Chain A
Amino acid sequence: MKVTKKDVENVAVLSRLTVTEDKINKYVDEFNNFLEYADVLQQVDTASVKPTAHVLPLKNVLREDVIKPSLARELALSNAPEKEDGYFKVPRIIE
């Protein structure tokens, strides 16, 4: 499968990145290189291998349903670029 200019533009939109026109062809090539490498992996016979859900051999890591203290609101909001009345403030959202 060949990556096209359109694919790169789509990935940029999904990732909220701006890609300038002069860089697009460079990314098309790089993406294709990644996929070619993946093609190599595709040649491995995995018919008898179960899909990996997690890399560690762990299961059922659970906690009891017990309330722990939350963050103080001041602290929770301390990294927010903008805040208002105890809320995080973000640009106006209308789709």
Chain B
Amino acid sequence: MSYEAVIGLEIHSELKTNTKIFCGCATSFGAEQNTHVCPVCLGLPGVLPVINKRVVEFAIKAGLALNCTINKFSKFDRKNYYYPDLPKNFQTSQFDLPIAEHGYVDIEVEGKTKRIRVTRIHMEEDAGKLVHSGNTIKDSNGSNVDYNRTGVPLIEIVSEPDMHTAAEARAYMEKVKSILEYIDVSNCKMEEGNLRADVNVSLRPVGTEKLGTKAEMKNLNSFKMVESAIEYEIDRQEEILDDGGHIAQETRTWDDGKGITVSMRSKEQAQDYRYMPEPDLVPIITTDEEIAEYKKNLPELPDARRARLVDEYGLSEYDAGIITNSRAMAEYFDDVVAAKVDAKLAANWIMGDLAKNLNAESKTIESSPVSADNLAKMIALIEKGTISSKIAKKVFDEMWQSDTDPEKIVEEKGLVQITDSNAIEKIVDTVLAENPKPVEDYKGGNAKSIGFLVGQVMKLSKGKANPGVVNKLLKEKLDK
């Protein structure tokens, strides 16, 4: 039988605040264990949590950027469960009146736009971290707990089960990340767990409506993991269903090393969170005026920015999509084209050599060794014909080593393009004299062999001859 996968995501994003959601402890990553804790986040008796104003602001911004309705009356609730990463035995979260609901995100997959509905966004506190002593989890005689992360503010973004392939789920998560970066509410550093997803997957026979039993995979913190885990899970469930089996409703964990999902705990014997209104926190009321003000102050979002790059600079949808996917890259692009250089050339250099070098050295564009200013100057040199594209690659490499003014590099290294026809003609003559075979081939009708001759001229000129002039001269002489 053929099946359709039904996929929903719960994305947890840590907010970029200085302090925790209910106390003044710092949120910075990587501190020594249990040094960012206080009576409130340790859940000592008699303490009173107070909501961090910025958390509410960030959650509302995220709600609006994801096209949600902001609930003007919102409250916190206690979600009860026992696990040592929660010192209070409950997580302070939101249940029936989350800060935002009914939104959507548009994604593009294989050239088609698709709308993924966002069910809700709620605020909650993150849990602590368990560290297992002993060599492996099996021989450890205990678990160690670090409560530094307990109380770090999170928003949880819950989607409707509107996705049907791993690629759609990935595109959705990428888009959400991009939007959160644009509105500057989360660092979105996935390797630090700033952004992670719980993924629900179920299958149903193609053409049917009724949802199958789902399995949930928790805490996936890379796009690759989300994609691989979904693909694996679809195959696993398909095999079980084809064999006439039934899918157990359960939580599974993705084993990245082995590339499989493994059962963690069964959900069949009811998880009962016994939500209750949080009596220590009072409701959050937001007025229409405040919401309008937030809306007004939202920055340009990825979709709008992309449309602008297409309209204003004539970039292709695809290129504009890549550049605007990350806010930092979009800003870098804007800085380069602010110097009035050719936008398409700028896009090609940013997506090409710059991106390639950044990836190779695992650098972000914010810490690019080549500044937007210098890249713009280099592109201007290409446009003026001072250097060829080929020489530009050398200049770029020099700039990558030391962010030097490209004009200075060109001057110091003697990289100025030779456009003087007389100088080039000499080289062309030498090449023609030294390569009788290709010359004969060309004259015998093999037009392609001119490429070889151009290459030889470029080589002899150390890449400095203007390729246009070289081509023209070669043709003139060969066609004589």
Contacts and interface: CB of A to CB of B under 8 A. Distances in A.
B24 A84 contact: no
Q: Which of A59, A76, A77 has the most CB of B within 10 A?
A: A76
A70 B25 contact: yes
Given A60-B284, A61-B282, A67-B18, A53 B24 contact: no
Interface stretch (B140-148, B200-208, B224-232, B429-437): B140-148
Given A54-B283, A67-B26, A87 B50 contact: no
A24 B265 CA distance: 28
Interface string B182-203: 0000000000000000000000
A54 to B, nearest CB: 5
Residues of A in contact with B, size category: 35 or more
Contact of B75 (A54, A82, A90): A54
B167 interface: no
20 contacts: A14-B272, A16-B82, A53-B73, A53-B75, A54-B283, A58-B282, A60-B283, A63-B51, A63-B53, A66-B18, A68-B38, A84-B144, A86-B33, A87-B131, A88-B144, A89-B133, A90-B145, A93-B130, A94-B137, A95-B264
Contacts of A93: 83-84, 130, 143
A67 B19 CA distance: 6
A10 B73 CA distance: 34
B403 to A, nearest CB: 34
Contacts of B52: 62-63, 65
B50 A62 contact: yes
B142 A90 contact: yes
Nearest to B141: A92
A56 B281 CA distance: 10
Nearest to B137: A94
Given A63-B51, A86-B32, A89-B143, A68 B282 contact: no
B145 to A, nearest CB: 4
A82 B73 CA distance: 43
A85 interface: yes
B225 to A, nearest CB: 21
Contacts of A82: 142
Contacts of A88: 34, 84, 144-145, 147
Contact of A91 (B143, B146, B147): B143
Contacts of B130: 93
A93 B37 CA distance: 22
Given A85-B144, A90-B145, A65 B18 contact: yes
Interface in A34-85: 52-56, 58-71, 73, 76-77, 82, 84-85
A76 B42 contact: yes
Contacts of A58: 282
Interface of A: 10, 14, 16, 52-56, 58-71, 73, 76-77, 82, 84-95
Contacts of A68: 19, 23-25, 38
Nearest to B55: A65
Which 10 pairs show the lowest CB-CB distances between chains A and B? A68-B24, A87-B144, A62-B53, A65-B54, A58-B282, A88-B145, A90-B84, A53-B75, A63-B50, A95-B265
B37 A87 contact: no
Interface string B303-342: 0000000000000000000000000000000000000000
Contacts of A71: 37-39, 42
B360 interface: no
Given A86-B33, A88-B84, 11 more contacts: A10-B272, A58-B282, A59-B282, A60-B284, A62-B52, A63-B53, A70-B35, A70-B38, A89-B133, A92-B142, A93-B83
A16 to B, nearest CB: 6
Contact of A70 (B26, B97, B137, B142): B26
Contacts of B265: 95
Contacts of A62: 50-53, 56
Interface in B121-141: 130-133, 137-138, 140-141
B417 interface: no
A86 B51 contact: no
Nearest to B274: A14
A69 B38 CA distance: 8
Nearest to B134: A92
Given A53-B277, A65-B18, A93-B130, A70 B144 contact: no
Nearest to B130: A93
B279 interface: yes
B17 interface: yes
Contacts of B131: 87
B36 interface: yes
A62 B52 CA distance: 6
